[in-house]
A and B are shown apart, each in its own frame.
Chain A
Amino acid sequence: MTIMLMISWLLLALGLMFFLAGSIGLLRFPDSFSRLHAVTKADTLGLGLLVLGLSLQSSWREGLLMALIWLIVMASGAVSCQLLARFSDEQPSESATQQED
């Protein structure tokens, strides 16, 4: 039991670390592509680790629900990331003007 709990906390900490790294990347990276890259890492891996860690501490029903949420977030993240990348690809001047001010 305690081993399960320890693994769970480890996974949670790891997940949080991904989120932290993603947030720092979002703030520090120079252009939108690398920012997107940083954020999507946090979304998929970080959230996945959190869900895994939390489901070790909860019933199978809650675990299933969380897994569903993870899947939906991942799918929407993939689509919205592609859309954003496409948008910034189409309008390079937009991101350039934003960096100036």
Chain B
Amino acid sequence: MFPALLLVTLPLSAALLMLLWPRFARSLHVTVALLSVPLAGYFLQQILLHGEQQWLLGGWSPLLAIRWQADSLSALLLLLSALLHLLVSGYALAVQARDRLPAAFWPLSSLLLASLQALWLARDLFNWYVCLELLGMVAVALVTLSGDKALKPALNYLLFSLFASLCYLLGVALLYAGYGALDLPLLAGQLEANRLNAMALLLITLGLMLKAACWPLHIWLPAAHAAAPAAVSALLSALVVKGPLFILYLVWTELAPQAFWLPASYLFALAALGALLFGGIAALRTPYGKSLVAYSTVAQLGYATLALAFVLRFNLPEFVAALWLFVLAHALAKAASFLAMGELQQTLGSKQVSALKGASQTMPLAMFAFAVAGGSLIGLPPSGGFLAKWALLLGLWQSQQYFWLLVLAVATLLAAAYVFRVVVLAFDRAEPTAPDFAPQRLPQYLALLPALAVWAMALFSMPLLTLLKQEL
């Protein structure tokens, strides 16, 4: 119980203490961020050694209590959240004075970590609702840290997020009407394929897809992620949209009756197709740097949705592996590219992509970080993105889905186009945009770190794959 409990309660109580004594906020925050990583690592090791673990909170019987459960996937996500949180904390520390990051960032980002960790551990439909609501409100509060210019996107984000949670709640209420339980393992395999359950699952899926910004329900995401401070955008794109995706995966693979899998897979495949094509095109056309990265998130989530669609259709282990490899690779790459882009914009003093002209000369480190992360977004070997794409391709080849191979090729070209749009501009050294002040080195190195980590994923591909296939 202890490591799992500490992973949630440590950031939670630290956030409370930070609010009580704002003077110690930063030191407390850093301490907790530093402690969380080894703790999450230890927890992952425990899970790998002893297998899946579960606890019934309060010690009541499963029907009454809220269940926490941790398998290797949950443990991996816990570790990923802790790692990225530490990284972003470091970045925030490095830039807080320059970017005038409000003091509220520290408790809020600790609360974000706590609510994410609670979400990865929970296996209870209603507790997930509260976690989702919590996650959405922390995310919106973090977006508003940018001040008045972020108000409109933040309010939009909040309203969409509220509507999404209401959809989810209605679905859960309908499921409770039929089965009188909220516990996922208890409900697993119980659901019949009738109208009521179809409606309930449809509502749950709608809510979660809205929260996970799956195309065409992504419209709130680009503005909100682009308006937030760079450190916040990195957290939002890398982690927050993955929470609802995780629930969606569990609901469909464990809860939904098999009869619904095929129609659902068509729905997800359609959403994925739209995301891959239109997300990519939008990223190619937008004039703003952070919007480009945000649209790239929409496009990249398409891969994950596609993998989920094929998990439901063919039930091959390759697709499950592809899904979570995409999530991992995208989290790392997106953290890197948002931090790098934020750094570039802040130093060059403009939001426009065109301002990045000659950035390879003025800010080589940040540009390098962006390019390396972009390589993984495109799927160049041997990056984490490539690993994920390879698993997906393998599965598609085995199940003879040649049309989708073509779609993947087009999507890859689009990703390459929007990444190279920035890179080519950066190498145009004729009249580089002069930076407003001397570029800071530390934040650029911090942006480079996850980009390198995503390429290192290829080195650890075997352990990662065995870890993920344990899920099956």
User: Do A and B interact directly, with beta carbons closer than 8 Å?
Assistant: no
Listed in ascending order, the chain B residues whose CB lies under 8 Å from chain A are none
Listed in ascending order, the chain A residues whose CB lies under 8 Å from chain B are none
